[in-house]
């Protein structure tokens, strides 16, 4: 058995576990998503975390658009990252932010 097959099997099993957890917690996840969306900064972070913006760009764009401080946006980016809602993914051009799919 090759290592690639083993890794695929592990990924498939983890995807199944993830799906079961999402289904069993769907109501809580939906309520949490609604609560996050009530905060315009959190809502905009989630919408713009599409894998095209780095930390500074994401914070700067949101701060300008919503007329809030960049430090406030950066704190919320950090909170969402700690919760596992968004992640910084390393790319050849640097780290970019994207959602993890937990709330999808």
**8, 59: one domain:** no
CATH number, domain at 103? 1.10.10.10
User: What is the pTM assigned to this prediction?
Assistant: 0.78
Chain segment 3-45, per-residue pLDDT in tens: 677 888 898 898 888 888 888 888 988 898 899 999 999 999 9
**32, 80: one domain:** no
**17, 52: one domain:** no
Alpha-carbon torsion (60, 63, 64, 66), positive or negative: positive
Count of structural domains, the chain: 2
pLDDT of 66 over the 90 cut: yes
Q: Are 62 and 45 within 8 A, CB to CB?
A: yes
Q: What is the extent of the structural domain holding 20? A: 1-38
Rg (C-alpha) for the chain, rounded Å, is 16
**9, 23: one domain:** yes
**93, 47: one domain:** yes
> Which of 3 and 1 is assigned the larger pLDDT?
3
């Amino acid at each position: 058995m090759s290592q690639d097959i083993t890794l695929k099997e592990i990924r498939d099993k983890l995807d199944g576990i993830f799906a079961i957890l999402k289904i069993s917690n769907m109501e809580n996840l939906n309520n949490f998503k609604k609560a996050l969306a009530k905060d315009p900064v959190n809502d905009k972070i989630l919408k713009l975390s599409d894998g095209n913006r780095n930390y500074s760009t994401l914070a700067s764009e949101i701060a300008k658009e919503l007329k809030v401080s960049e430090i406030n946006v950066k704190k919320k980016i950090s909170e969402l990252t700690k919760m596992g809602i968004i992640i910084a993914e390393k790319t050849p051009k640097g780290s970019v932010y994207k959602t993890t799919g937990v709330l999808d």
